[in-house]
Amino acid sequence: MIGRIKALRFAWQGLVFLWKGEPTTRFHLIGTIAAIIAGFAFGIERWEWVFVITFTTLVWFAEAVNTAVERLADAVTLEHHPLIGKAKDVASAAVLIISLGAAAGGVVVFGPYVLALLGV
């Protein structure tokens, strides 16, 4: 039990580091808040909330993994190394992939509500 509580504390420290060390998280927070506000404003369905929650969570997850990979890579060497560069590029690509997926999901979920609002 104490071990679990300690693990939670370490996870919290990781979250704080992610927030302080990665300026990109500001954009993720804005996107997350915007999606939540839009969800309530449009009164989206329960299943649509599942998509919104899943996509926003995956973006944060990918950013956390990307940051972990970057820090591990820096711990291996700060010298220029083509494999370190590739590892960092692929980790960044993971964030890009899920961000594009989240944007597409956002269009699918909110698109019809926006069109209805515009009377289209």
Ligand X SMILES: Nc1ncnc2c1ncn2[C@@H]1O[C@H](COP(=O)(O)OP(=O)(O)OP(=O)(O)O)[C@@H](O)[C@H]1O
Enzyme catalytic residues: 63
CA distances 88 to 17, 62, 85, 97, Å, are 18, 13, 5, 14
- Measured from the CB atom, the residue of 83 and 114 that comes closer to ligand X is 83
d(C-alpha 95, C-alpha 105), whole Å? 15
Q: Does 85 bind ligand X (CB under 6 A)?
A: yes
Site string for ligand X, 44-83 (x = CB under 6 A): ----------------------x---x---------xx--
d(C-alpha 57, C-alpha 20), whole Å? 19
Closest separation between CB of residue 19 and ligand X, Å? 13
Helices (H), 1-120: 2-21, 24-42, 46-76, 82-117
Which residues are annotated as part of the binding site?
A: 7-12, 22, 63, 70, 79-81, 88-89, 92
Judged by the rule CB under 6 A, the positions of this chain that interact with ligand X are 22, 24, 66, 70, 80-81, 84-85, 88-89, 92
